[in-house]
Amino acid sequence: MPHDTAEPNQFRKVDVKTALQYGQASGLAPLASWVQQFVTEAMIPEAPYTGGLATTMTLGNTDGFSKALEALSNTWIEGRQPIGEREGILCEEYTFMGGVSTARARGLNITPIKADHEGMLAYGKGGLADILENWDASTGQRPHLMYTVTIGQNPTGAIMGPKRRKEIYELCVKYDIIIIEDEPYWYLQYPSAMSGTHLETRSSTGSSFLDSLLPSYLAGDYQGRVVRLDTFSKTVAPGCRLGWLTAQPTLIERIQRITESSTAGPSGFVQSLIAELILGPDARDSKNSAKSSGWNNAGWCRWLEGLRGNYERRMNTMCDILDQGRDVISTPKRLRFPSSSTIDSWDIVEKTPAYRFNRPGAGMFVWIEVLYENHPLTAHFAPADLAAALWVLLTHKPYLVLVMPGAIFGPTVQIVKESGWKFFRLSFCADEDEVISRSTTGFINGVAAFWQMRDRDEVQALIDEAHAEDIEREMAAMSPGFC
Amino acid sequence: MPHDTAEPNQFRKVDVKTALQYGQASGLAPLASWVQQFVTEAMIPEAPYTGGLATTMTLGNTDGFSKALEALSNTWIEGRQPIGEREGILCEEYTFMGGVSTARARGLNITPIKADHEGMLAYGKGGLADILENWDASTGQRPHLMYTVTIGQNPTGAIMGPKRRKEIYELCVKYDIIIIEDEPYWYLQYPSAMSGTHLETRSSTGSSFLDSLLPSYLAGDYQGRVVRLDTFSKTVAPGCRLGWLTAQPTLIERIQRITESSTAGPSGFVQSLIAELILGPDARDSKNSAKSSGWNNAGWCRWLEGLRGNYERRMNTMCDILDQGRDVISTPKRLRFPSSSTIDSWDIVEKTPAYRFNRPGAGMFVWIEVLYENHPLTAHFAPADLAAALWVLLTHKPYLVLVMPGAIFGPTVQIVKESGWKFFRLSFCADEDEVISRSTTGFINGVAAFWQMRDRDEVQALIDEAHAEDIEREMAAMSPGFC
């Protein structure tokens, strides 16, 4: 990167001198301008906005979400304001707790909606329509905000198809709900897992990679009620703290005013590095990719497609092993064949599924439901205790796997108690294939060993270990799982 | 900087791999740990905290202030909540409007306190005691927060000595006020301007440079009511967006929770670069500066002292020229000497001061009070109009100086109207001596020319230009002056 350039046009000026001065809240001009162009011309050309979508740089999606809430909600303080003034926010049944924490800190009423492998349910018991139609006003106002991750949802890996998306959007129109769509995993949509699941052709974006991705809520946002969060955390590095927010221009202007009086713009150091990566040191040629030394749109899409390929391979590595380990040996049974049979009476054993999961169509996570009701000691322990025991066992030698307990993704105490213990979230994002293979094998071996346990004292010892103060503290301190 | 290191201690680990992963809200461990040590052992060893002060990294002082307000105040919305619930914040009569904007966005009642060359007045009309004792409850609750810049205040350049500081602190004890001390210019205390003004010996910090600086409010904070903001913006680069906040541990813990649910920690890119600068690539040797390749405390202090020397030279360059240009030719008068005198009757003219200023003891700014009452046309124009005319004239050839009008630092409409027009803020921070010399000469020549104007139409034309819509918009959009 040059120290300074004579380039008079700030939108093409990528140099150290500019990056290290005070910047605009909207972001470093060349980078912000590339983001604007990439979003409106390549990512979401279908957006039905008369004047076009607007964008502004953020410090990543946690920051983007926090600022969207600042712009779109009023804080509420228990004991100080009546419950009738309390605003609310809808989210998936299991969700990224970083988002929930931000909303909870503002006093918002967190309202989870039942979800399946396509994410939030539009209809049916506990679905969006059900919750809104039968709103319980004793908990606060009916919500006008929604926090949702529709692609590779954290933690469930759910991916929302176009039909569900339209249903949800129309309910948001009916009940006047602003959708805050947090999509850090949007680029990680796996062709192998999704074949046949999403079938609408996108309008051509000029990139076969982008054409292969399910469109954003913004693509059909004819009422301007969608705020979308994108980040470089999952595509360049989490430590960047850099992303952007896309919405209607009026809201973007408000977000920029909020930025000026809170964080100021993102660090010039990271903005200039990423601008140089994408636009090259000679940003003047950015419109002409043949001449430019930067990646530009085509190079950026190739990078994203490469990332997707890597994660897809890791996902399949993990899921292939999980498939192998699903059915575990339960109680061996005596054969009922006649004794004249040549088959040894212990040769055949009953196999029972220890867990189930969907191969994720997107994202970085496998969400596993453990079937404790199939465990030989199920009659002797509460299933939540069996879950705690298994979690501890997995951390022991030789398994040495740390899985995220489902409970830490439950946005309400009720969900945590009712079903949080059923789930583990496994992540295939942070390591090489070999490590993923070893850890997942550790997981299935640990599960198999757990299903072999017959000694109640042994299980009780694991439960006691889980409830020991230091482990509980450690679990409480666990990151709600950025990654 | 190495890609990764085998160093197991995270407090000594400065590598790319760590910096690019998700970080702690408290900051990158080696940098956060250096800041903690530098603050408690070198900057403010006097702090009378039993368990010691605590620190946390911020995204610069705008972010630090915003988070301190989030932790220490409740938002108030006009028309929604009664005035009796409105909280307030005290600040200097003229102040950094970035801070005021942040407080205003939360609905806080901005309460300016009269100030002089030592900053906020403790006693006297409009001083702190006066405002608090005679609190006007119709504007909201009596404030429990103060925003103050005590060293090189922006825009006035004021620097607060120990006596005033003690008086203000004791009033804060009496009225239970938390002091948010924003000190971006603390290192820029100029020995040449201050000789004889501050006379308390600091306890030795181990650095003659640090010993030469006036202590922070924290040095005498026996009640734990001070929050201090420091930044790398003025010492490394404004584009860093990196700083830290120092306060009692309980508050720091709250600020870290706020950080987790809003901005997350600062960008790993900038944190690792600055960690490497200070601690060197081999942070393991940071305790032993003889071995370490980083700057460490001694190197950091040398860097700060060097910066101070540079700014001091620029300040003196600017102020020397301003001294020369202060007295301008007013109406030439006929001599009253007898006609037998050999002196030509037009040789002696009356000189009148066109402005006054104090040579700043710290910071980056000279605050000039223009004496429009001495202008030959003072009887024919409102002084605010003369001010507008002078501001425009200065932007014309051959002067070509853009000065900050005092009005944009006025926190209330009343101050802006009553006295905002009297002042200009000149900055000597952003350019080399030669540019400062040329611009300041442009300023004094422009002022001299303005005092020579006798043609009312000419002055009126400048006023009209100032009120032309585009200029007013430009002035309104002017940054409230980070620098």
CATH of the domain at B175: 3.40.640.10
Element holding B328 (H helix, E strand): strand B327-332
CB-based contact B420:B410 (threshold 8 Å): yes
Question: Which range among A248-252, B187-191, B294-298 shows the weakest confidence by mean pLDDT?
Answer: B294-298
Type of residue found at B343: I
Alpha carbon distance A435, A427 (integer Å): 12
CB contact under 8 A, B273 and A269: yes
Highest mean pLDDT among A19-28, A199-208, B86-95, B231-240: B86-95
CA A238 to chain centre: 14
Indicate yes or no: CB of B265 within 8 angstroms of CB of A77.
Answer: no
The edge-to-edge listing of strands for the beta sheet with B365-370 is B355-356, B365-370, B423-427, B404-405
Domain contains B284: yes
With 90 as the cut, is the pLDDT of residue B17 above it? no
- Among A23, A101, A238, select the one facing B260 at the smallest CB separation: A101
- Residue of chain B nearest A97, judged by CA positions: B261
d(CA B432, CA B430): 7
- Beta-ladder partners of B125: none
CA–CA separation, B209 and B189 (whole Å) = 10
Strand A145-148 to A178-182 pairing: parallel
DSSP B406: G
Shortest distance, CA B119 to any CA of chain A (angstroms) = 24
Measured between beta carbons, which residues in chain B are less than 8 angstroms from residue A263?
59, 62-63, 66, 241, 263
Please indicate whether, in this complex, the C-beta atoms of B267 and A267 are within 8 angstroms of each other.
Answer: yes
CATH number at residue B452: 3.90.1150.10
Based on the domain organization, do B220 and B330 belong to the same domain? no
Domain shared by A188 and A231, yes or no: yes
Name the residue in chain A with its Cα closest to that of B99.
A261
Chain B hits for A62, Cβ within 8 Å: 260-264
Instruction: Answer for the pair B96, B112: CB distance below 8 angstroms, yes or no.
Output: no
Query: Chain A contacts of B262, Cβ < 8 Å?
Result: 62-63, 66, 102, 262
Q: Looking at residues B21-29, what average pLDDT do you find?
A: 88
HEC-encoded secondary structure of chain A: CCCCCCCCCHHHCCCHHHHCCCCCCCCCHHHHHHHHHHHHHHHCCCCCCCCCCEEEEECCHHHHHHHHHHHHCCCCCECCECHHHCCEEEEECCCCHHHHHHHHHCCCEEEEECEECCEECCCCCCCHHHHHHCCCHHHCCCCCEEEECCECCCCCCCECCHHHHHHHHHHHHHHCCEEEEECCCCCCECHHHHCCCCCCCCCCCCCHHHHCCCCCHHHHCCCCCEEEEEECCCCCCHHHCCEEEEECHHHHHHHHHHHHCCCCCCCHHHHHHHHHHHHCCCHHHCCCCCCCCCCHHHHHHHHHHHHHHHHHHHHHHHHHHHHHHCEEEEEECCCCCCCCCCCCCCCCEEEEECEECCCCCECCEEEEEECHHHCCCCCCCCHHHHHHHHHHHHHCCCCCCCCEEHHHHCCCHHHHHHCHHHEEEEECCCCCHHHHHHHHHHHHHHHHHHHHCCCHHHHHHHHHHHHCHHHHHHHHHCCCCCC
Residue B1 contacts residue B281 (beta carbons within 8 Å) = yes
Å between B198 CA and nearest CA of chain A: 33
**Mean pLDDT across B274-283:** 82
The reply to whether residue A240 touches residue B77, judged by beta carbons under 8 angstroms, is no
A308 assigned to some structural domain: no
Cα nearest neighbour of A236 on chain B: B20
Q: How far is CA A479 from CA A399, A404, B260, in A?
A: 22, 9, 10
A244 located within any domain:
yes
Residue corresponding to tokens 């074949």: A195
Q: DSSP code of B72?
A: H
CB contact under 8 A, A66 and B258: no
- Average pLDDT along chain B: 89
Taking CA–CA distances from A77, the nearest residue in chain B reads B74
Q: Assess whether B285 and B370 both reside in one domain.
A: no
Contact (CB<8Å) B269/A266: no
Residue A30: which of A300, A289, A251, A281 has the closest Cα? A281
Q: Given a cut of 60, is residue B339 above it in pLDDT?
A: no
- Assess contact for B150 and B119: CB atoms under 8 A: yes
Q: Are residues A377 and A459 in the same domain?
A: yes
Same domain, B144 and B265: yes
- Within this chain, do residues A130 and A166 fall inside the same structural domain, yes or no? yes
Interface test with B, best of A267, A272, A432, A482 (most B CBs within 10 A): A267
Whether B148 is in a domain gets the answer: yes
Q: Higher-confidence residue: A32 or B291?
A: A32
What is the pLDDT, as a whole number, of residue A337?
54
- A12, A4 in Cβ contact below 8 A? no
Which residue in this structure is represented by tokens 């004239």? B393
Q: Which two tokens stand for residue B349?
A: 């003219």
pLDDT in the model for residue A483: 34
Residue B219 lies in a domain: yes
From the list B105, B265, B267, which residue is nearest A269 (CB)? B267
Say what the pLDDT of residue B483 is.
34
CA distance A90 to chain B (A): 17
Q: Are residues A435 and A329 in the same domain?
A: yes
d(CA B279, CA B277): 6
3-state secondary structure of B103: helix
Q: With left for phi above 0 and alpha for psi between -120 and 50, is residue B211 left, alpha or beta? A: alpha
Is A123 found in the same domain as A34?
yes
Minimum-distance CB partner of A22 among B19, B20, B483: B483
Of A19, A258, A264, the CB nearest to B63: A264
Is there a domain that residue A236 lies in? yes
Q: Which tokens is B141 given?
A: 């609750």
B342 vs A390, residue with greater confidence: A390
Contact B264 A63 (CB under 8 A): yes
A63–B262 C-beta distance less than 8 A: yes
Q: Contact, A126 vs A136, CB < 8 A?
A: no
More confident site: A108 or B287: A108
Across B178-188, average pLDDT: 97
Residue A213 pLDDT: 93
Q: What is the pLDDT of residue B150?
A: 97
Q: pLDDT at residue B368 above 70?
A: yes
Reported residue count of chain A is 483
The domain boundary residue, chosen from A245, A275, A303? A303
CB contact under 8 A, B269 and A239: yes
Q: In terms of domains, do A331 and A472 share one? A: yes
Name the residue facing A261 among B60, B105, B263 (closest C-beta). Answer: B105
Q: Which residues of A touch B (CB under 8 A)?
A: 19-23, 59-60, 62-63, 66, 74-75, 77, 80, 98, 101-102, 105, 233, 237-242, 257-258, 260-270, 273, 479, 482-483
Given an 8 Å threshold on Cβ–Cβ distance, is B264 in contact with A74?
A: no
What is the longest distance spanned by two Cα atoms in chain A? 95
Read off the DSSP letter of residue B6: -
Question: A210-213, long-range: CB within 8 Å, 24+ apart, which pairs?
Answer: A210/A42, A210/A43, A210/A301, A213/A186, A213/A187, A213/A189
Q: Hey, what are B66's tokens?
A: 């915003």
Quick one: pLDDT at residue B22?
A: 80
Same domain as A417, residue A278:
no
> Smallest CA–CA separation between B381 and chain A, in Å?
37
Q: What is the per-residue burial (b if ≥16 Cβ within 10 Å, else e) of B328-362?
A: bebeeeeeeeeeeeeeeeeeeeeebebbebbbbbb
Q: Which residue on chain B is closest to A61 by alpha carbon?
A: B263
Tokens encoding A289: 């990719």
Q: Which of B22, B62, B241 sits opposite A267 (nearest CB)?
A: B241
CA nearest A274: which of A229, A231, A306? Answer: A231
Q: What is the pTM of this model?
A: 0.89
In a domain, residue A5? The reply is no
Among candidate residues A303, A334, A369, the one where a domain is terminated: A303
Q: What's the confidence (pLDDT) of residue A473?
A: 62
What was the ipTM of the complex prediction? 0.86
The Cα B457–Cα B461 span in angstroms is 6
Question: What domain count does chain B have?
Answer: 2
| Closest-approach residue (CA) in chain A for B85 | A80
Same domain flag for A242 and A342:
no
Give tens-digit pLDDT for B420-449: 999 999 999 877 889 999 999 999 999 999
Q: Is B357 helix (H, G, I), strand (E, B) or coil?
A: coil
Which among A66, A74, A237 has the least Cβ separation from residue B262?
A66
Burial class from Cβ neighbours inside 10 Å (0-12, 13-18, 19+) for residue A220 reads middle
Close Cβ partners of B106 (under 8 Å, ≥ 6 residues apart): B69, B73, B75, B76
Q: What is the predicted pLDDT for the residue at A315?
A: 96
Nearest by CB: A268 against B239, B264, B482: B239
Partner residue facing A60 (CB), from B75, B264, B482:
B264
Angle at Cα B192 formed by Cα B189 and Cα B197, nearest 5°?
A: 70
> Are B21 and A239 in contact (CB < 8 Å)?
yes
Q: In chain A, whose CA is at the least distance from the CA of B71? A: A105
Residue A147, pLDDT score: 98
Mean pLDDT of B100-108: 95
Nearest residue on chain B to A430, judged by CA atoms? B21
* B353-359: average pLDDT: 96
Confidence grade of residue B8 (pLDDT, cut at 50, 70, 90): confident
Whether the Cβ atoms of residue A164 and residue A288 lie closer than 8 Å to each other: no
Among B49, B404, B69, B114, which residue's Cα sits nearest to residue B247?
B49
Domain that holds residue B253: 10-298
Residue of A nearest to B236 (CA): A20
Report mean pLDDT in 10-residue bins for chain A, 483 residues.
77 77 88 95 90 94 97 94 96 96 96 97 98 97 98 96 97 98 96 64 76 94 97 90 96 96 93 90 53 80 95 96 91 54 57 95 97 96 96 96 95 95 93 91 97 95 87 57 35
State the residue for tokens 């912000």: A32
Q: Of B267, B270, B431, which to mutate for an interface test with A (greatest number of A Cβ within 10 Å)?
A: B267
What are the chain A neighbours of B60 within 8 Å (beta carbons)?
264
Two structure tokens written together for A436: 């993923």
For residue B453, what is the enclosing H or E element?
none
Is B321 found in the same domain as B254? no
Q: Are A352 and A327 in contact (CB under 8 A)?
A: yes
**Which among B19, B101, B241 is the nearest to A260, CB-wise?**
B101
A81 to chain B: nearest residue by CA?
A: B81
Interface test with B, best of A261, A272, A429 (most B CBs within 10 A): A261
Could A22 and B268 be called an inter-chain contact, meaning their C-beta atoms sit closer than 8 Å?
A: no
Which of B277, B298, B319 is the last residue before a domain boundary? Answer: B298
Among A302-311, A360-369, B82-91, B343-352, the least confident range:
B343-352
Could A261 and B59 be called an inter-chain contact, meaning their C-beta atoms sit closer than 8 Å? no
Average pLDDT over residues B4-17: 77
Chain A residues close to B241, C-beta within 8 Å = 263-268
Residue numbers in A near B260 (CB within 8 A): 62, 98, 101
The reply to whether A204 falls in a domain is: yes
